[in-house]
Amino acid sequence: MTETSPGPAWPRPYWMPGEGKAVLVFYVFGKFDADLAIPAARYQSPGLPAGIELQRFQNAVLRRWEGYPLQGALGEILQAESPDVVAQARIAPEVLVIRGELDDSTSLDYLHDTLGVLAGLLDVGGTAILDPQILSLFSADQWRQRYLVPGGAPPRNHVLILCNADDAPDRSWVRTRGLRKFGRPDLSVRNVPADALGHAGAMCERLMEFQAMGGRFAEGQLLAVDGLATDMEAHHGGSADDPQFNNTHVAFHWPV
């Protein structure tokens, strides 16, 4: 997406049909006119796609909701990462919630159009945008820098890569969050040795882009990885209720 040139369609060259749905959820904090006019056309967006809705709340009212995103476990993560932006979001009078599900599609135009609406909302009073699927809260300037880039922000900007200690000593667990935006399972790579963390992270980035562009992994599919003598095998698991992913996932095990 750019501000000055026509936005091209965002095709998915590796698309294969599947049963999953793309899920979008964003919170826009700010102060907006009573008659909300969103200049989405400025960003080559016709508006929100069918299936994605906008709801308007007073921040003080939404704060009473048990799932209010600036409190609880997510709130603690956001406070640690972006305390200044959290403080700004907390005092915003209003919150616009954009969310919905869409059938799997041969293009990412639904995401392009939704991003255009978000960009437009920043122009008419939005001060911060929360993307709970990647556990991230952005100021208006941070969001523009990340997503308003020539040709559109790459899939890496829409997905979070995490690394934690694994069950085995001196091994790590590399995983993603956010591929649900593309109607695809997230990635889980277990048993990664310390000297292979960069390799595993780069592999996740390539596989993430493959899925975002419509690719899929079959159950039991073998994955050849440069530098590894043994192929890794894909196994599907999890559910949308899994707190580690908020999504299903494809699991791989780094060979010993």
Last residue of a domain, one of 103, 136, 153: 153
Of the candidates 96, 82, 97, the residue with the CA atom closest to the CA atom of residue 135: 82
Provide the 8-state DSSP code for 48: S
From CA 46, how far away is CA 114, in angstroms rounded? 9
* Domain shared by 126 and 181, yes or no: no
Q: Which two tokens stand for residue 177?
A: 């969050």
pLDDT in tens, 23-48: 999 999 999 999 999 999 999 999 99
Structurally, how many domains does the chain consist of? 2
* Domain hosting residue 227, numbered range: 157-253
- Asked if residue 16 is part of any domain, the answer here is no
Tens of pLDDT, residues 137-184: 999 999 999 999 988 899 999 999 999 999 989 999 999 999 999 999
pTM: 0.93
